[in-house]
Amino acid sequence: MSDCLFCRIAAGSIPSQKVYEDDEMLVFRDIAPARPVHVLLIPRKHIASLASVTPEDAPLLGRMLARANAIAIAAGSPDGFRLIINTGWIGGQEVPHLHLHIIGGPNPVGPMLKRSEE
Ligand code: AMP
Ligand code: ZN
């Protein structure tokens, strides 16, 4: 059994609130949503982060990106959304299995990032 949290969610051994799945990707609700719509789109294949993708992963990543709008609409954010892919410790990634945060809701998500002083 993999000790990767999202591999275990993909395998069904840890429960999740799934909103979409097919043979190569899975979408489930974030356990601590930052906005009314906040789901995580993951590949079933274990890819640790965007820092470890290979050229062979590019078509899969393209299909994940191409599905994001339909997922956002189905999840309740029909007029746009924000994608976030935290990568590595600089990016604030906590779960080392590549995931796209799809964030939206009835109201605008808000400013992208606060500007830091430096
Ligand atoms: P990141 O910081 O980009 O690695 O984001 C990890 C995300 O996974 C956070 O938004 C968490 O709230 C979410 N998360 C952690 N554990 C679970 C879980 N068991 N089910 C759903 N979402 C989770
Ligand atoms: Zn994994």
Q: Which residues are catalytic?
A: 99
The set of residues, in sequence order, having a beta carbon less than 8 Å from that of 19 and lying 6+ positions away, is 27, 28, 29, 39, 71, 74, 75
With tokens 């062979």, the residue in question is 56
**Residues linked to residue 40 through DSSP beta bridges, in sequence order:** 28, 101
**31-69 pLDDT, tens digit each:** 999 999 999 999 999 999 999 999 999 999 999 999 999
Q: Is the CB of 86 under 6 A from ligand 1?
A: yes
**54-108 pLDDT, tens digit each:** 999 999 999 999 999 999 999 999 999 999 999 999 999 999 999 999 999 999 9
Burial 79-106 (b: 16+ CB within 10 A, else e): eebbebbbeeeeeebeeebbbbbbbbbe
Q: Is the CB of 69 under 6 A from ligand 1?
A: no
Kindly state the tokens that stand for 100.
Answer: 């796209």
